[in-house]
Amino acid sequence: MDSLIAGLTTPATRYIQALNLRGQVPDQFVEAVFQKADVLHIPVMITPVPTLAESNLAANPGFSAFIATMGHCTRPINYLGLPALSVPCGFTKSGLPTSFQLVERPFDESTLYRLGHSYERETGWTELAPEL
């Protein structure tokens, strides 16, 4: 709900400015970052995945604020329009799956798939299931 309210209070001129920057910002980011790194390895979420009980808005009214933080690491990549791949890498203390994301240059999805596949093959995370 909070993110909807933020959207309603954003002036149209600010939204148009953001759209206009979408052409420049990704190019600058790609040039700056991928001259120094072949791929970005970043979290999908900065906090553990919430349980069903924790995500119950009726029982946990503060969860709506938590929802806004869930896209902290994925939202910028989506804005930049860069290809990304979420790769399973284990389980949280509560037994829920966790993952990281690999981010690559535009149109280099094949590198992401090769890296993700190599990681999964070497670690075996995709063969494991959490304890119930």
Instruction: Give a yes or no: residue 132 inside a domain.
Output: no
Instruction: Give a yes or no: residue 93 inside a domain.
Output: yes
| 31-61 per-position pLDDT tens digit | 999 999 999 999 999 888 887 777 777 887 7
Instruction: Give a yes or no: residue 74 inside a domain.
Output: yes
Instruction: Give a yes or no: residue 67 inside a domain.
Output: yes
- Domain, as residue range, for 93: 2-127
The answer to whether the CB of 45 falls within 8 A of the CB of 72 is: yes
Which run of H or of E encompasses 3?
helix 2-8
- Return d(Cα 62, Cα 60) in angstroms, integer: 5
How many domains are contained in the chain?
A: 1
Instruction: Give a yes or no: residue 109 inside a domain.
Output: yes
Q: What is the CA radius of gyration of the chain?
A: 18
Rounded to 5°, angle at Cα 114 from 113 and 115: 90
| 110-125 per-position pLDDT tens digit | 999 999 999 999 998 8
